[in-house]
Structure 1
Amino acid sequence: MITVTSARKNYGSFAALDDVSLDIPSGSLTALLGPSGSGKSTLLRSIAGLESLDSGTVTIQGRDVTSEPPQRRGIGFVFQHYAAFKHMTVRDNVAFGLTIRKRPKAETARKVDELLEIVGLEGFQHRYPAQLSGGQRQRMALARALAVDPQVLLLDEPFGALDAKVRTDLRQWLRRLHDEVHVTTVLVTHDQEEALDVADRIAVLNKGRIEQVGDPVTLYERPANDFVMGFLGSVAQLGGQLVRPHDIVLERDRATALALDAKVADSPGVIDAVVERVVPLGFEVRVDLRADSGERFAAQITRRDAAELQLHEGETVHARAVARSSVVEHDPALAI
């Protein structure tokens, strides 16, 4: 268990952390999610001991480590940029932490072989970092962090420098790795899809404060406020109400739209809108729309629905929501 209590950190007049308290359960994979400047990296670095708090405490497994240096906190840290030793082979990079701790050579060799197999680099032990792809270098960095059996694994935007396909593959691999090794893991990311895909729990930060903590389904379906709803997935303004784009249905016949909309509790109503653009996005289609009020919003519909509607730019359709805004107001249990 990692417990952060009443953490504050200021840089001049800027409050990077503003009275932040957070519990991270043992064995969990928790994502710290938020926009740039929200305080997520500062919080991670404070847990690691790379930043000192102005006030507040950090405990790991019940031990107060607030004043402890990083090397005494039992953590492994992986940065966005791999920080590999370029003159060392993959094997020597992974073994580095064990070597400086003067572990027996046989133990080190056994541990390194085991980790290289776990991260899928068993055939690369004699290569140098420059001979690896970006994804392979990041897996090497994770193996190096795990080699010393840390109590906590801290990941600071570990896949941010990689292309989209490699990021997707690596986050799926990270989830499988976590399920295998069960080390308490904290991941900093600004990528909502990454957090939803990988994490057991998500803490959403904004302006140095935590807006909400919970599992991905709860945060997506029952956001504590408009910020969480807007940051954790796409939103559209429909009749002055926030809705998910995939909860918007388009109808050609207004009478049909009105009749079906009457069945939706607290509906924002049926909005007449002009199609501005139809954008195929693989398995779905985004329709950019402009309401009569001038308000712009987007709907996400299936390829089948798009084929049936045969939408064209400049024509008018009738938009309705199949679900009302799911923001839960003033629920203290959601805004921990």
Structure 2
Amino acid sequence: MSISVIGANKRYGDFAALDDVSIDIPAGSLTSLLGPSGSGKSTLLRAIAGLDSLDSGTVVINGGNVTGLSPQKRDIGFVFQHYAAFKHLSVRDNVAFGLKIRKRPKPEIDKKVDELLEIVGLTGFQRRFPAQLSGGQRQRMALARALAVDPQVLLLDEPFGALDAKVREDLRKWLRRLHEDVNVTTVLVTHDQQEALDVSDRIAVLNKGRIEQVGAPDELYDRPANVFVASFLGSTVRVNGELVRPHDIRIGRNPELALPAADTSLDTGVIKARVVRVVNLGFETRVELVAATTGEEFHAQVTRGDANALNLSPGEDVFARATKVPELVAD
């Protein structure tokens, strides 16, 4: 089911949580609302759900104006960051809760719950209580509970934010597979750029209550609308005054080695820089540098193999060149 938000405004005193926001979310897509704290992404999600009323504007789901409808009448599944599980109920009863409220026949409930527990990988955990599950398992239970009532739309508000990095990574992969299986229109709120790039069909970048850009992940990464989008959607540094991504910087011990064999992209020219620090980050290495002529500090991210071949040490002089500069749409 498609979602459209048209001219949404929401203020809390002098603070504009949403400032004339409009967005179209295609049916069957997984769209991430990405932005820093206070950007308006959770307010927008809650407005779609009907949990927050708008000062003005319209919310349309599947062609119908739902702006004045209660959350219960919008046919939406909502998953919060902190699970909101019923602690006194088993996993099975948590997942079945919405179906029981709707007074579905017991055989239908049993069949649906069994199917969902298998989809989310919790078969065999039916009799456990939320306190007996890991954080990742509780979040999968919450997703199963939201999907049990066959919602038109699934809304996820920072669902993995309270989990550690490895669990978040595993759940991102799982969410992508789940979305492909159930194909329900999904909107994910996150402040994690990697998460948005990893799971989304489309990303909407918000800042100060407004949408800066909406598009496919590759589009936003390679052709950001402005400096904010470029800086927020991945690491950036300044080289010779140009905004570039650290992994697009080539390092060599002489100017020629800093130049790729064949390159037609925009670049910043070759500059001389001094190595300040070399940090191994697993499969890649961050080389912290300071430009010799301007004193500008920046860093490059190179492969572990390239770093070992260069055998860099703090205090050494090298040459650097950015081989690609993001093409800002506004320019």
TM-score with structure 2 length normalisation?
Answer: 0.97
Partner amino acid, structure 1, of 2:14: S
Q: What CA distance in whole angstroms lies between the structure 2 residues aligned with 1:51 and 1:139?
A: 25
Q: What CA distance in whole angstroms lies between the structure 1 residues aligned with 2:257 and 2:165?
A: 41
Provide the residue aligned with 1:229 in structure 2. 230
In 2 relative to 1, CA 260–187 (structure 1 residues): closer, same or farther, beyond 3 Å?
A: closer
How many equivalent residue pairs? 329
Are the equivalent residues in 2 in contact too, given 1:261–1:270 (CA < 8 A)? Answer: no
Q: Describe how 1:1-336 pairs up with structure 2 within 5 A.
A: 1-257=2-258, 264-292=264-292, 293-329=294-330
Shift in Å, 1:291: 1.2
Partner amino acid, structure 1, of 2:145: R
In 2 relative to 1, CA 266–92 (structure 1 residues): closer, same or farther, beyond 3 Å?
A: closer
Q: What CA distance in whole angstroms lies between the structure 1 residues aligned with 2:135 and 2:301?
A: 33
Shift in Å, 1:254: 2.8
Shift in Å, 1:290: 1.0
Q: What CA distance in whole angstroms lies between the structure 2 residues aligned with 1:263 and 1:111?
A: 56
Task: Deviation per CA, 1:121-176: give whole Å up to 9, x if none.
Answer: 01000010011000000000000000000000000000000000000000100000
Are the equivalent residues in 1 in contact too, given 2:17–2:43 (CA < 8 A)? Answer: yes
Q: What CA distance in whole angstroms lies between the structure 2 residues aligned with 1:266 and 1:84?
A: 52
Task: Deviation per CA, 1:59-113: give whole Å up to 9, x if none.
Answer: 0001100010000001000000011001000000000000011111110011000
Q: What CA distance in whole angstroms lies between the structure 2 residues aligned with 1:191 and 1:118?
A: 25
Shift in Å, 1:274: 1.0
In 2 relative to 1, CA 268–125 (structure 1 residues): closer, same or farther, beyond 3 Å?
A: same
Deviates more, 1:289-298 or 1:65-74: 289-298
Q: What CA distance in whole angstroms lies between the structure 2 residues aligned with 1:83 and 1:240?
A: 48
Partner amino acid, structure 1, of 2:289: L
Shift in Å, 1:304: 1.4
Q: What CA distance in whole angstroms lies between the structure 1 residues aligned with 2:291 and 2:69?
A: 57
Are the equivalent residues in 1 in contact too, given 2:272–2:317 (CA < 8 A)? Answer: yes
In 2 relative to 1, CA 119–255 (structure 1 residues): closer, same or farther, beyond 3 Å?
A: closer
Are the equivalent residues in 2 in contact too, given 1:172–1:198 (CA < 8 A)? Answer: yes
Secondary structure (helix, strand or coil) at the match of 1:103 reads coil
Task: Deviation per CA, 1:222-276: give whole Å up to 9, x if none.
Answer: 111111111001111000001111110011013554x659955542221211111
Q: What CA distance in whole angstroms lies between the structure 2 residues aligned with 1:226 and 1:176?
A: 33
In 2 relative to 1, CA 317–73 (structure 1 residues): closer, same or farther, beyond 3 Å?
A: same
Provide the residue aligned with 1:334 in structure 2. none
Task: Deviation per CA, 1:192-232: give whole Å up to 9, x if none.
Answer: 00000001000000010001000111111111111111100
Are the equivalent residues in 1 in contact too, given 2:75–2:153 (CA < 8 A)? Answer: yes
Provide the residue aligned with 1:333 in structure 2. none
Q: What CA distance in whole angstroms lies between the structure 2 residues aligned with 1:218 and 1:324?
A: 14
Shift in Å, 1:324: 2.7
Q: What CA distance in whole angstroms lies between the structure 1 residues aligned with 2:295 and 2:42?
A: 39
Q: What CA distance in whole angstroms lies between the structure 2 residues aligned with 1:66 and 1:49?
A: 7
Partner amino acid, structure 1, of 2:112: K
Deviates more, 1:273-282 or 1:134-143: 273-282
Task: Deviation per CA, 1:283-328: give whole Å up to 9, x if none.
Answer: 1111011112121111010111111111000111111011133222
In 2 relative to 1, CA 106–262 (structure 1 residues): closer, same or farther, beyond 3 Å?
A: closer
Q: What CA distance in whole angstroms lies between the structure 1 residues aligned with 2:60 and 2:16?
A: 22
TM-score with structure 1 length normalisation?
Answer: 0.95
Q: What CA distance in whole angstroms lies between the structure 1 residues aligned with 2:37 and 2:257?
A: 44
Secondary structure (helix, strand or coil) at the match of 1:59 reads strand
The 4+ residue runs of structure 1 with deviation greater than 3 A are 259-266
Q: CA RMSD in A?
A: 1.3
